[in-house]
Structure 1
Amino acid sequence: MKNDDPFSIVLIDGQCLLCQSATKFIVHHDPVGRFYFASLQSETGQRLLGNVGLPLDHISTFVLIEGDRYFTQSTAALRIARHLRGLWPLTYGIILLPRFIRDTVYQYIARNRYRWFGQSDQCMLPTSDLKGRLLE
């Protein structure tokens, strides 16, 4: 990666199967390798949460860190989508909706993610595509 290429860190709930699927989806649609990943529960994830001033038990959302700024919930998801290939950047237009509306939908999904998608006792095993992008 060149020095002027931006990169972002995505912190996910490493035990959530929806989050694991989202990670694979992002990697597949991120041909330039902008996004790097860490589990919220990992030592790296905990350190990064602390660095941005979020509580260490903040696992009800994923966190996007871009430089010295961080984003959560729907804002994080939309900021990620705008950097993916395909038609996904078009979804960034949803950012125009008031945040409380976007985040209400996000929170509903987050509250039900284990019931709908399942939960694992351990973080996913990294694929070859993901290995170099994990910050663990």
Structure 2
Amino acid sequence: MTSRAKNPWPDDDVILYDGVCVFCSRWVRIVAARDVKRRFRFTAIQSGYGTRLAQAFGINPEDPDTNAVVHGGEAFFKSDAALTVLSNLPGWSWVRVLYAVPKPLRDAMYGLVARNRYRIFGKYEECFVPDAEMRARVME
């Protein structure tokens, strides 16, 4: 899997995340709180929609090693996904400077956190349940 792929997916501005990962679920809540234009929508990889999206991009839904975002007709993975999302939030455009960090280094750091996310941050028994306001932005 490369850091980007042309989007064979019909929806745009969709963030795919691991819904049982405490860190990943908090990431989604942070993005939702700062996304005042309500641009991004969210789907847990454990949902039917999320599983189909993951499979379309070659991500193993049983053992995901990355989050992903479909944005501007492309799919972004690993550190590119995080930077793409953050750089499109109000007040966060400064993170674009992090693209200057060599991608292998960014993705190595991303991979280190991804491999150890359950051990470091914990794991839910089931996907977290969003509140009513955020539920309208969740794709299942």
Task: State the TM-score, normalized to the length of structure 1.
Answer: 0.87
Is residue 27 of structure 1 aligned with residue 32 of structure 2? yes
C-alpha contact 1:7 1:34 (8 A) present in aligned 2: no
C-alpha contact 2:46 2:127 (8 A) present in aligned 1: no
Is residue 59 of structure 1 aligned with residue 64 of structure 2? yes
Distance in 1 (alpha carbons) for counterparts of 2:125 and 2:89: 29
Unaligned runs of 5+ in 2: 1-10
Unaligned runs of 5+ in 1: 1-5
Instruction: In structure 1, give the amino acid aligned to 2:97.
Output: G
1:34-89 Cα offsets, whole Å, 9 max, x none, are 110111121101111233x3133351211111254211100000000111122x22
1:84 pairs, out of 76, 84, 89, with 89
1:104 pairs, out of 94, 103, 108, with 108
Q: SS state of the match for residue 37, structure 1?
A: strand
C-alpha contact 1:9 1:37 (8 A) present in aligned 2: yes
1:48 pairs, out of 50, 53, 59, with 53
Q: Cα RMSD between the aligned structures?
A: 1.6
Q: Residues 67 and 44 from structure 1, CA distance in 2 versus in 1: closer, same or farther, beyond 3 angstroms?
A: farther
Distance in 2 (alpha carbons) for counterparts of 1:84 and 1:67: 14
Is residue 15 of structure 1 aligned with residue 20 of structure 2? yes
Is residue 36 of structure 1 aligned with residue 50 of structure 2? no
Task: State the TM-score, normalized to the length of structure 2.
Answer: 0.85
Q: SS state of the match for residue 119, structure 1?
A: coil
Q: SS state of the match for residue 64, structure 1?
A: strand
- Corresponding pairs, count: 129
2:98 pairs, out of 94, 99, 123, with 94
C-alpha contact 2:59 2:65 (8 A) present in aligned 1: no
